Structure 1
Amino acid sequence: MRLPRTAVQLILLVVLTAPAARAGESEKLSVRSLLLSEHPGHTTHRVYVKAQVVTTLRFEKAVEPDKTKMLGWEGRLEPLAVVRNKVILEPLHELASDEAIPLVVTLVDGTEVAFLLRPQGLREWGWADQQIDVFKDRESYAAMHDALMRALDENDALSEQLARYRQEEHSGDHALAALLTAGALEQTPFKVAGYVLGKDDDTDIKVTLYKGKEKAAAIFRIKNLAPEQPWSMKSARLLTVASGQERSVAVRSTHSSIAPGESGVIAFVADKSAFMEDGKLTSVFLEIYRHDGLRQALVQLDPDLIAK
């Protein structure tokens, strides 16, 4: 569909066309811990894998290579590798939603641990496991140290979140974004500036652009077309086009996660300072990254959106 020239240009919407675009490439690996004694009623543990991404299972004791087996893996994964206390897995391609590959790991003390390899898309937050640290004894030093580190990380994350919430309570831009998500346009200084539509296999998005006095806004109305995977926004960034300098943008959404077949709204508000670089107005990119870290959309916002 040919769209009229407006103050916005939708550069990218189909996420699969740019698989290298990923949020937080330098972030630490997706590592989680599994304490076997915490799950006495669950004899088979899920491992979420992704094509051409290595998943490592790390145990406290060495693994018996001859007694560690996968079933029905041929043509779907590389042959598994055992390196001392580690089992290394790598899918050749994405597993279908109905595929499940059994894995039994046997330790040198005879302990058997059963796993089921599943596609990462079925996971609520969509990330593949890159490392799973498996502990059998909750009283061991390694298990206690791991639990302590997880608790400290969670505390740091909650403290950061609380500080952000307190800051946003006093932010006028966040208040405007909240009004836009609630559909209360008449209570804001914005006027509609244009629309852009985009669709891929999993997502249908309508972008509405608004201009206001020294402020601009964008609303993304997102419908999740995926049959099973919830959609959520992992992060968003506002960057100057010329130099890639990151700018502040206020974000509000109606849902933390959008279920299959459901819709949600995400609103963004930026003031004039976000469009300034070296004393001049410039265009900016609004990037949106979805739950699995892949870029869902890249939208160029031009200074025309900042009403004089």
Structure 2
Amino acid sequence: MRDFLHCRSVLLAVLVASVASAKDREPQVRNVTFPHRPDQVARPVYVAGEIATVLHFEQNVDPARTKMEGWEGRFEPLGVAGQSVVIMPLHDLTPEDRLPLVVTLVDGTQVPITVTADKDNVDHQVNLFWNPETVKYLRADLESALGRERRYREENERYERERKSPDHALAALLSSGAESQTSLIFRRRYIYNNEGQTDIGMTVYSGRGKVAVVIKIKNHLDRLWNLSQVRLTSATDFWHPFSKTRECAVTMEPHSIPPGDTGVVAIVADKGAFTSESGGLEPLALQLIRDDGLVEAFVKLEPSLARQ
């Protein structure tokens, strides 16, 4: 029995994953301080479809001289009131989308902004400061430094956990092409083309208490191929945006795939991932989602793959 569904047959999953990808990103209130004049360097602002992003400045904004290029059909008209500018995208952007926005303050100061997207974060509010003599600037600078320190610490802790994890070690071996150095048993392979954008080769392995999937991606896009999410859920409700995701180890080589190149994503899950809320075993659905929300690969995994 074929347990693989071609990407065309999971169009609903593509649409849901695209929406979930935007909604699941971590919202943030961010302070931006300018070491020099605010008109010298364009700062990025990260947006997502149907989510409002507020830019807050130290002075009132001139609505007549605040404009964004290429917004028609993709954004609602800019909302400008007092010291704030509201950006509302109608649809998701990709990191390759970079729309120039120039905010002009009432004193004539122009602040260039690049409106783009990030696969992990959405700016709900961005506070911009450029007068280092003010208390607000100093407080924002300190908060930014503390935030960076916290993120670095969390990232180091995650790397340390992954370094000690057998599943991540196994995924690293698989992503480097060293399948023969593992005890995994080949079960099935799928090869297909996603409408000329990518060639996908997917191999499913059975292990002792483990299941592994190795996905090779040939990038035919004219941009970098970036991974947004590996989504492992129950096969009965994979299409639902709030379905519970199961833990798995993921390794990708390289981190981004240049046009014309090939990359590998290796996924390893423990047999415990197949345990349902009622305590029984259930099949899982694995989705590989790239940064623009497209489901590049989909496969159903049976509990028997994680053999005793």
Q: Which residue of 2 aligns with 1:282?
A: 282
SS at match of 1:267: strand
Deviation at 1:210, TM superposition (A): 0.7
Partners of 1:127 and 1:291 within 8 A in 2: no
Partners of 2:102 and 2:112 within 8 A in 1: yes
SS at match of 1:211: strand
- What is the aligned-residue identity percentage? 36
Q: Which residue of 2 aligns with 1:270?
A: 269
Partners of 1:22 and 1:294 within 8 A in 2: no
Q: Runs of 5+ in structure 1 lacking a partner? A: none
Deviation at 1:304, TM superposition (A): 3.3
Match of 1:215 among 206, 210, 213: 210
Match of 1:58 among 42, 45, 56: 56
User: What is the CA–CA distance in structure 2 between the aligned matches of 1:96 and 1:27, rounded to whole Å?
Assistant: 13
Q: Which residue of 2 aligns with 1:144?
A: 138
User: What is the CA–CA distance in structure 1 between the aligned matches of 2:98 and 2:279, rounded to whole Å?
Assistant: 57
SS at match of 1:105: strand
Match of 2:86 among 88, 106, 125: 88
Worse-superposed segment, 43-52 or 192-201: 43-52
Partners of 1:103 and 1:115 within 8 A in 2: yes
SS at match of 2:4: strand
Q: How many residues align?
A: 298
Q: Which residue of 2 aligns with 1:241?
A: 235
Structure 1 residue 307 corresponds to structure 2 residue 297:
no
Match of 2:154 among 156, 160, 183: 160
Matches within 5 A, 1:26-105: 26-29=24-27, 32-38=30-36, 42=40, 44-45=42-43, 54-70=52-68, 77-90=75-88, 103-105=101-103
Deviation at 1:181, TM superposition (A): 1.2
Q: Deviations over 1:80-107 (max 9, x none)?
A: 2211111223456789999976543222
TM-score calculated relative to the size of structure 2? 0.77
User: What is the CA–CA distance in structure 1 between the aligned matches of 2:22 and 2:95, rounded to whole Å?
Assistant: 26
Match of 2:181 among 183, 187, 192: 187
The 1:246–1:87 alpha-carbon spacing in structure 2 relative to 1, beyond 3 Å, is closer
TM-score calculated relative to the size of structure 1? 0.77
Deviation at 1:216, TM superposition (A): 1.1
The AA in structure 1 aligned to 2:4 is Q
Deviation at 1:283, TM superposition (A): 0.6
Q: Deviations over 1:89-141 (max 9, x none)?
A: 34567899999765432223332224465x64xx7x69776544322213433
Partners of 2:200 and 2:297 within 8 A in 1: no
Q: Which residue of 2 aligns with 1:23?
A: 21
Q: Deviations over 1:226-267 (max 9, x none)?
A: 212x22223334323357544331222222222222221111
SS at match of 2:171: helix
Partners of 2:33 and 2:140 within 8 A in 1: no
Partners of 1:23 and 1:294 within 8 A in 2: no
The 1:140–1:250 alpha-carbon spacing in structure 2 relative to 1, beyond 3 Å, is same
SS at match of 1:280: coil
